[in-house]
Chains A and B, each alone.
Chain A
């Protein structure tokens, strides 16, 4: 079933960089404004699903293949656990933030210890989950 609409493809080509940029903004600015890893990851994943709906599943396989998505999904959880184990080398309990990681000025981008890095791992994992769900549940019919 090949579904090629002119208006949808033009608007998708125009809007996709802005959608991805907005999702990355939501992920990184977690300690300053409302947002976080889960909302930003969903927006980035929805951008990839939009790409697959408009141009067919072969285009999405080129940008975000199945093998990449399984690697990234396991990698996100492992990065999270790695940040927790780093605290063992300093004599602190698992996943402790402030005595180890530098806390900058509250309100600037480089502040808050490891909050931004954890949320980047969570956002990447949620985005690849949304893409993998769309692939396996409904993806075979899109040629």
Chain B
């Protein structure tokens, strides 16, 4: 197991290097260079000042030197400083990650809790009204623009009905609350973002689950279980479902990039101080060090998601060997 993990981690190294190259290249696509934005709008900046600024960021050196320099800093955990407030990018990102992670993990849990029963029902009784209804909802779920869903829910539950808070993670009087009120307040703020994050995923996942379950139900061991007279529920839940859940592990890992992408929209709309919001603000302000940093972290998180999925698959499925 340990050697398998080690080999997988080593195998990720070339991809990691590739990721850093892509991040670096994307930022240097900027016509004129990343510091232009700081200087362009300011007529008082002289040519010397501009050159000094370029030297400060190492922009007067050839590209491969710049990349090497950036990579050396990166290895030491230094992602540079934000243009906006001159704080280290690393700490700005690190303080945001828990928020995004909480929302996305809750969304994932919600997806599983809803999609698995839907998928199983559909596979067990294909063509039933429940199945057709679920299929229809899945289609709409795929097509639903998440930003629109977020906006509609916000205007309905937040503004019109006034049931749920519409932005941020805490109410204004959070400090004055007792511990259980704080807990409730936090939960209320999470309802809409988690729901919107999970919505599209439920559609995809329930369909996947349905397919996987239908496949499992066709297997010989299910026929055997039925033939020896086991009750239907036992066949479905003990024999088929357990096997149908195996590929779900992989899909969970593969859904990481989608969830991260979605966090930008959800967090931008609900004003949640997470990584997506940080990224959105950085993009709007062209805060290149932050953009580079979050892009890098997003890709690394995706890579880790894939790794976790592979390892988890090897753990839950004894047929997979660590070779």
- Do A and B associate with each other? no
* Residues of A participating in the B interface, judged by any CB pair closer than 8 Å: none
